[in-house]
Amino acid sequence: MVVLDSATTTSQPVPIRWVMRKSSDYNYDELAHIFNETRIDYIVPMPMNGRRMEDYVRDYDVDLRNSLIVTDPDGHPAGMGMIAFREQRAWLTRLGVVPHLRHHKLGHMLMTGLIERAYALFAKHIQLEVIVGNEPAKRLFHRHGFEGERELSILNRPPARLETQPADDIQVTALEGEALHLCLAEQRHTAPSWLDESASLLKSEDITGFSACHRDGSSGWVLFRKARFQMSHFAINVPPTYADAMLTALFHTIHKSYPSLDAKMENFPAAAPGMAALQKIGYIEVFRRIEMHRDLR
């Protein structure tokens, strides 16, 4: 039980009995609405609608029966937190409390509830991401035992002229059908984040990609989702020694093939080789996230 100060005829605080409900009690439009209410003042605006919420839940294996909505006794939603599972790992996402009810331990309650669910479903590890500069959330996650590890960069590229010249010892080829699935079955040189793990891309039918082959036989690839106006959900696997050269060749071909499309790349590890090549090809960093982890024992 949390005690909230509220306007009353006496100066006594009014106790509120918060109710924890399953996210599966709500439809996608309602979930999107609750999410938007918790993020009205968020550092990076990311409004959702029902359809996008449904895609999000499917792509990232969100488990709605174990995800939480906290409400007041009248059923008004005050906050939410989602949990996704892959094998013995859990991922926490969409955590938020509506602005006027923050600082009343609802964030703590949601985190405790989600971690309990991870234990109950035999997860051995939990991960999450927090935007660099979101100190309240980072502090909350630290208090629940999460440690920051790598920084992930979110990059955008509007349609633009290509100034790069790819090396002629790297050959780029379009990938189709089974070849795309073979790429996704590979272990990558740099571990992907939850968003660009193969399991996230496999859910979608509009995946396309290109492979790069160096004269010495080394190879790499970039896969992505191509929609009408935008390329997104990039998954990348290039050998570190050729990262700059291969990414230059691959992205040169990608943007030459689809010159009018915007590109949105999420969670490229900021310290990974190849960042310089992406910047030269026109990618601009919009913000960064920190990936945080906690083992469950």
Ligand X SMILES: CC(C)(COP(=O)(O)OP(=O)(O)OC[C@H]1O[C@@H](n2cnc3c(N)ncnc32)[C@H](O)[C@@H]1OP(=O)(O)O)[C@@H](O)C(=O)NCCC(=O)NCCS
Nearest residue to the partner ligand X, using Cβ = 107
For ligand X, which is the closer residue by CB, 60 or 251?
60
Angle 35-36-41 from CA coordinates, rounded to 5°: 115
Q: What does the alpha-carbon distance between residue 65 and residue 50 come to, in Å, rounded to a whole number?
A: 17
Indicate the SS3 state at residue 129. strand
Question: What letter represents residue 157's amino acid?
Answer: R
Among 47, 133, 136, 159, binds ligand X (CB under 6 A): 136
Burial of 11 (0-12, 13-18, 19+ CB in 10 A): exposed
CB closer to ligand X out of 36 and 198? 36
| Tokens encoding 227 | 């929609």
Looking at residues 90 to 109 of the shown chain, list those that interact with ligand X (rule: CB under 6 A): 95-97, 102-108
We find the least distance from the C-beta atom of residue 257 to ligand X, in angstroms, to be 35
Dist CA 95 CA 292 (whole Å): 14
Minimum CB separation from ligand X for residue 137, in Å? 4
Going by the DSSP 8-state scheme, the letter that residue 73 receives in this structure is: T
Closest separation in Å from C-beta 82 to ligand X: 11
The site map against ligand X for 32-61 (x = CB under 6 A) is: ------xx--x-------------------
Find out whether 249 and 166 touch, Cβ atoms under 8 Å: yes
Establish if 250 lies at the interface with ligand X (CB under 6 A). Answer: no
Query: With CB under 6 A as the contact rule, which of the stretches 82-90, 132-140, 152-160, 204-212 interacts with ligand X?
Result: 132-140
Binding interface with ligand X (CB under 6 A): 38-39, 42, 95-97, 102-108, 130, 134-137, 139-140, 143
